[in-house]
Amino acid sequence: MNDGLTTIEKTVLRDYKYGFVTNIEADEATRGLNKDIIRFISAKKGEPEWMLEWRLKAYRHWLKMEEPKWANIHYDPINYQDIIYYSAPKQKVAPKSLDEIDPELRRTFEKLGISLEEQKRLTGVAVDAVIDSVSIATTFKEQLAELGIIFCSMSEAIREHPELVKKYLGSVVPVTDNYFSALNSAVFSDGSFCYIPEGVRCPMELSTYFRINAENTGQFERTLIVAEKGSYVSYLEGCTAPMRDENQLHAAVVELVALDHAEIKYSTVQNWYPGDKDGVGGIYNFVTKRGICLGEHSKISWTQVETGSAITWKYPSVILKGDHSVGEFYSVAVTNNRQQADTGTKMMHLGKNTRSRIVSKGISAGYSNNSYRGLVQVNKNATNARNFSQCDSLLLGDKCGAHTFPYIEVKNKSAIVEHEATTSKIGEEQLFYCNQRGIDTETAVALIINGFAKEVMNQLPMEFAVEAQKLLAISLEGSVG
């Protein structure tokens, strides 16, 4: 069986099928970070003065901050002066319609399975495609606009809808929140903006597809979703990057705002390049995601399937401010080879009768390390708050690690907080049983992990569930000898 492993391991590497590089001329900033770079980015985007000020303020804060060290991850220090903070594919003229997009870029997204041609697109999904630092296309904009829904790149939102951006940007994740969010606030280059007006149920899935292409660059996107009273939106993001020997930094910030009776469902399928089997290369994924249930009876639900990145550091959280609001976090995090993940959530109960639910499934293989870190906080005034947390870990092999760090802070006696955790191993008995029924080991592992992750996978929009299931299986191929 041991010789089998090496051949399978080769397939694993080959199986990161998004590892290609698109040869396209890029318009780049010089390496490093200083005030001039920030002015350069802001100017490139044609931003108003207030936005530049906002960025510079963030930059000044960042200079005074220190990189967090508390996570259960290990990496060599990042040289922030060695990163290119802005890289945009050169397009001769700004495309006015989807037909004018550079064919090379169009082909890049076709290769990734994302068609930018609306007629070919899965019905019911609108896409914003972001490559390196800029958004290159957004589909179905007109159709959505008829309902009053705004779905566009963040750069466009800053120019076209400044009042909304001013009101909500940084309102959930303040500039000073943490080291990576401060960095993002200073240098973010693009991302998606969604605004769902009162009472509107968004008729299609909104999605953003993030692609890192250029070398030595970091991607710093910023996403903001605002759901007005009684509205509903389901949003999905996907991410991939080329295979490179160097580590690339991805530090995004996502903010969600749900008003009275509004619901936001945010799903992520994260498949950044994880590095090779020895841990060379791969994306450092340091992301801050937070939503606020501002209004009563509002609901925010995070679902994430994390299979990529050399390092994942992210804690999609919900501030339950409105009375009767609901926060949910469903996560599957897979680590293989030398990958490290420290991920989880924070549920902050401020309002009365608020409820939260956490379901985390960690799968570790190879020499990887997978940690769940979660905080459930019930404040003084949060009468009758309820939380249920379930954290399960599945181990493949005996050289990987699974860790659970649950933190619970309760300041109101009426709260009920429950936490359950399990750790299990894919046993040889399970595999042999499947083999005996004619199922080979690779397929057996896929069946077992998909069974393990089912509760979370069921939360994904239908269009992506099948894709995500395959991704889970591919990420773990070769992990059982």
| Binding residues for another protein (CB under 8 A) | 1, 427-430, 432-441, 443, 447-448, 450-455
Least distance CB 12 / another protein (angstroms): 20
Burial classification of residue 9, based on how many CB atoms lie within 10 Å of its CB (0-12 exposed, 13-18 middle, 19 or more buried): middle
Which residue lies nearer to another protein by CB, 5 or 147? 5
CA distances to 8, 119, 237 from 18, rounded to whole Å, are 19, 24, 16
Least distance CB 481 / another protein (angstroms): 10
CB 177 within 8 A of CB 288: yes
Least distance CB 448 / another protein (angstroms): 6
Least distance CB 444 / another protein (angstroms): 9
Which pairs with CB-CB distance under 8 Å and at least 24 residues apart come from 143-149? 144/202, 144/204, 147/197, 147/200, 147/202, 147/203, 148/197, 148/200, 149/194, 149/195, 149/196, 149/197, 149/200, 149/202, 149/233
Which residue lies nearer to another protein by CB, 198 or 442? 442
Which residue lies nearer to another protein by CB, 194 or 460? 460
CB 397 within 8 A of CB 363: no
Tracing tokens 């083999």 back to the chain, one arrives at 435
Which residue lies nearer to another protein by CB, 178 or 430? 430
Least distance CB 285 / another protein (angstroms): 27
Which residue lies nearer to another protein by CB, 122 or 447? 447
DSSP assigned state of 198: T
Q: Kindly give the pairing relationship between strand 247-250 and strand 282-293.
A: parallel
How far, in Å, CA of 186 to CA of 20, rounded? 30
Least distance CB 356 / another protein (angstroms): 23
Which residue lies nearer to another protein by CB, 228 or 392? 392
Q: First-to-last CA distance in the chain?
A: 6
